[in-house]
């Protein structure tokens, strides 16, 4: 069964500084709240996250184990990520670039671009459905981040550790 390629990009402006958003994006507890369907998010190493999530595309619904690697970090501006997931209905691999830039006092633009490949029975869902599901997943993540962004500044007052 051939793999299907998914791509997407977007940008949102949030009510938080780049430093506060950076800290949130690397906090497993915050990520568990933000990632649709996340049951578990852990950070076993500085450059790696592991997660279990339940998600579906059309009639294809299942639980997936996922691993995310931080390939490049330029605090608090650039995150380059790669990851993989696997479950009974398929496998996925993806790479993403996330950039953060302050746009004014307490405001930050977050931009992202990703490319992924999906294989297995879930790939039978069709490209339009897969792309719509991926877009919905990413949009929901950033919508949740936006809703929580006003409270992030208080969390960011405690500086994050330098590598």
Question: Residue 36 sits in which domain range?
Answer: 4-156
In the predicted structure, residue 134 carries a pLDDT above the cut 70: yes
CATH of the domain at 47: 3.30.530.20
Question: pLDDT tens for residues 70-109?
Answer: 999 999 999 999 999 999 988 999 999 999 999 999 899 9
* Within a domain: 163: no
pLDDT exceeds 80 at position 36: yes
More confident residue, 57 or 71: 71
Q: Does a structural domain hold residue 114?
A: yes
Number of domains within the chain: 1
pLDDT of residue 155: 44
17, 102, 137, 144 from 107: Cα distances, Å: 5, 6, 23, 16
Task: List the structure tokens of 116.
Answer: 């992924």
Contacts 24+ apart (CB under 8 A), 82-85: 85/53
Q: Domain for residue 162, yes or no?
A: no
* 161 belongs to a structural domain: no
């Amino acid at each position: 069964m051939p793999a299907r390629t998914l791509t997407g990009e977007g940008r949102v402006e949030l009510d938080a500084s780049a430093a506060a958003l950076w800290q949130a994006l690397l906090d497993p507890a915050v990520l568990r709240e933000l990632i649709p369907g996340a049951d578990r998010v852990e950070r076993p190493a500085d450059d790696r996250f592991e997660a279990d999530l339940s998600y579906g595309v059309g009639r294809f619904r299942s639980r997936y184990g996922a691993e995310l690697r931080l390939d490049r970090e330029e605090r608090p501006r650039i995150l380059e990520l790669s990851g993989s997931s696997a479950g009974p209905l398929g496998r996925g691999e993806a790479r993403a670039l996330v950039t953060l830039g302050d746009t004014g006092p307490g405001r930050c633009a977050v931009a992202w671009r990703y490319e992924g490949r999906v294989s297995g029975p879930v790939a039978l869902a069709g490209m339009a459905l897969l792309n719509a599901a991926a877009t919905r997943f990413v949009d929901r993540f950033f919508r949740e981040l936006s809703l929580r962004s006003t409270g992030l500044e208080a969390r960011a007052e405690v500086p994050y550790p330098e590598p």
